[in-house]
Structure 1
Amino acid sequence: MKDKFSDYVIISDLDGTLLNNNKEISKENLQAINYFTDNGGRFSVATGRVIEATVGYLENIKINLPIIVYNGGVIYDYKNNKIISESFVDEKQKEIVNRLNEDFDNIGIEIYADRKLYVLKDSGHSKRSATEMLDIIYEVKEELSSRQWHKILVVGESDIIDNIENNFYDKYKINGTRSGKTSYELLPIGESKGQALKRIIEMCNLESKKIICVGDNMNDLELLQESTISFCPENSSRELKEYADFIGPSNDNHMIYHIVEWLESKIN
C-alpha cells in the first residue's frame, strides 16, 4: 500500500513564500514539510538565491529532490553536495551591463560568478540576507568579463525597478525577469525555474500530473506554468497571481502548511 502522498511533489520558492518576513521557516511550515515527506511526498525549493545562501535554511527539512538555485541556472544535489547542471549568461548579455551602467545612476549592478558576488556598481543594497554567506567583492578587475557568469542582478528602489522591468526588452532587445520588489535579473538564455523543473521531472522520473508549485514573484512564472497545481501566497505580485490556480495565506501565515493541509483534504 502506497503512502498517502506518494508521487506528489511540492516545489516552493524561498523568499516571500516559504520564508516569512523575518527570513525564517515557521514551525508550522517545517512540520508540514516533514509530515509530507514522511508520508511519501517529494519536496524541494526553487530560488533565485545562490547555493550558499540557500542550504542554511534546509538543515531541518527532509529535502528529497535536487534544489533549484540561481533562478534555474543551477540544479544542485543538496544531499550529495554537488552541482548537477549549470548554465551561464552569454556575451550579448554581458554587454548589457555597460549600457545599464550608463543609462541609470541610481541602481546597483551585481555579477554572480565563481560562487562569489562582484559589485560592479554599488547601490548600498549588496549586503542583505540573500548575500550574507557570499564573498562580496567591490574592487572588480577587468578580467571578470572573461569568466563564466551565472547571472546579472540589478538592484534599486521599487519604482526604478518598475521602470526597468516595463521597458527592458524594448530598450535592450533581451529578456530579463523581475525577482523581487527591488531586483531585476538577467539569466542564462532559455533558463528559468520552470526549465530546471522540467529537467528534474525527467531525471527523477516524477509523476508530472502531481506537481505542486508555489511562488510569489514573476521569476516564479515558468515554475507555476510547469506545475499541475499552482499556488501563490497572498503577498504575491499582482501580475503573478493571475497565473495561479489558488491564492493561499501570506508568507507570514504558513503557506506550505496550507498546501499540505489542502492536499490531504483532497486525497482523503
Structure 2
Amino acid sequence: MKSSPFAGLLLVCDMDGTLVNSKNEVSPENIAALKRFVEGGGLFTVATGRTARGASLNLKGLPVNIPAIVINGSQIYDLKQNQILWHSFIEDDIDGLLSDLPLNFPQLGMEIFFEGGVSITRSNDWVEAHRLREIILPGTMEVNKIPKPWYKIVLSCDNRGLKEVQFYLAGKTTHCKTVFSEEKFLDLMNIETSKGNALQVLVHKLKLSDLKIIAVGDNLNDLEMIQIADIGVAVGNAHEILKKHATLCSAHHDEHAIYQVINWIEQNLSGERLMKRKRIQ
C-alpha cells in the first residue's frame, strides 16, 4: 500500500523571494522536495504577484496539482486547463490619478495588469528588470489606451520613493489599496484583493476546508495568506513584519527554503507538534 504522509495537507508558496531564488530559478532541492510532498498525498500550488503566464516560466517540472493564485490574489487560474476560475478587478476610475503620478514622481515606473496581459506605461530600470524576468513585451502604452477592467497597477522605483508614493495615494481612492510585493515594487489593487482572500475562495471552490494549510512567503503581500493558513511560514529573507506574524521561520530563499519547510512538515505535522515562531533547523 502506498504511503501518504502528506495527505490532508495543502502547501501554498509565494514565488519570487520564496520558492524562486535570486537567480530566478527553483533549486533542485526544492523541486525534489515538492515532488516528494505531492507523491506523498499533499496538494501544492503557488500564490504569486505574477500573471499565470509569468508564473509558468518557473513552474515547468513542478508538481502543481491544484489551481494557482496569481496577480497577487486577483485571479485563481487553472494552469492545466489555461482557464480563469475566479477574478477580482479594480473598481475605481483611476485613470486621472495614474496620469498625475508621473508629474509628482518623474522617476516612477508603471505597469498595468489587465485581462489581456501586462502593458508598461512608464519604464525605468526596475520595470525593465521585471519585464525581462516575466517576458513582458517591450514598449510603452498610454494609460487611456489600455483596455479595462484592470487587475492591478505595479509602481516601481527605489524603496524610499515608493513609500512617498504610498503616502501620496492614501485616501485618494475609495476601493483601492497599496501593498509592497517587493522592496522596489508597490501594487495598487482592489481593496478586497489579497492572496489570503483568494486562498479562502480557492479552498471553498475546491471544497478543501478539511485540509491543513501551510503557506510560505517573504513580503507584505503574503501577510493575509500566512495569517489565514493553519501554519504561516516566513522565509529567512522575509520582511520583519511578516516574520512577526509567522508561525515559523525557514531558511533564506537562496538556501532551499521550501525543502526545509517540507522536511519540517514531515517531522512535525504527523504528531501535531507545532511550536510558535520556531526556527526550522
Q: TM-score, normalised by structure 1?
A: 0.92
Query: Which residue of structure 1 aligns with residue 10 of structure 2?
Result: 9
Offset at 1:166? 5.1
Report the CA distance shift for 1:142/1:96 in structure 2 as closer, same or farther (over 3 A): closer
How do 1:66-145 and structure 2 match up within 5 A?
66-129=67-130, 132-140=134-142, 142-144=144-146
2:240 alignment partner in structure 1: 238
Structure 1 residues 141, 162: closer, same or farther in 2, change over 3 A? closer
Q: Please state how far the C-alpha of 1:208 moved relative to its aligned partner.
A: 4.8
Counterpart contact for 2:67–2:78, Cα < 8 Å: yes
Q: In structure 2, what is the equivalent of residue 219 of structure 1?
A: 221
2: CA distance between counterparts of 1:128 and 1:82? Answer: 28
CA distance in structure 2 between the partners assigned to 1:81 and 1:120 by the alignment? 27
Counterparts of residues 122-201 of structure 1 (less than 5 Å): 122-129=123-130, 132-140=134-142, 142-144=144-146, 147-165=148-166, 168-169=169-170, 174-201=176-203
Q: 1:34 to 1:85 in 2, by over 3 A?
A: same
5+ long unaligned stretches in structure 1: none
Query: Which deviates the most, 161-170 or 78-87?
Result: 161-170
> Partner of 2:278 in structure 1?
none
Moved more, 12-21 or 239-248: 239-248
Give the aligned partner of residue 24 of structure 2.
Answer: 23
Check whether the contact 2:214–2:230 (CA below 8 A) recurs between aligned residues.
yes
- Contact 1:8–1:207 (CA under 8 A) maintained in structure 2: no
Q: Which amino acid aligns with 1:20?
A: N
8 Å CA contact retained: 2:108, 2:124: yes
SS at match of 1:159: helix
Aligned-CA RMSD value: 2.0
**Secondary structure, counterpart of 1:236 in structure 2:** coil
- What CA deviation, in whole Å up to 9, does each residue of 1:75-96 have, x standing for no partner? 1001211111122212334443
Between Structure 1 and Structure 2, how many residues are aligned?
267
Counterpart position of 1:251: 253
Report deviation, 1:10. 0.5
Match of 1:204 in 2: 206
Q: By how many angstroms is 1:213 displaced?
A: 0.2
- Displacement of 1:74 in angstroms is 0.8
Structure 1 consecutive aligned stretches of length 4 or more whose deviation exceeds 6 Å = none
92-101 vs 180-189, which moves further? 92-101
1:59 corresponds to 2:60: yes
* 1:146-175 CA-partner distances (Å, limit 9, x unpaired): 522121110001221233345542566652
Matched, 1:40 2:48: no
- Give the secondary structure class of the aligned counterpart of 2:233: strand
AA of the residue aligned to 1:197: L
Do 1:45 and 1:67's aligned partners in 2 also have CA atoms closer than 8 Å?
yes
User: Given the superposition, is the C-alpha separation of residues 214 and 167 from structure 1 closer, same or farther in structure 2, using an over 3 Å criterion?
Assistant: farther
CA distance in 1, matches of 2:19, 2:156: 22
The one-character-per-residue Cα deviations of 1:23-81 (angstroms, maximum 9, x if unpaired) are 11001100000000001000000000111111121120111111011000011001211
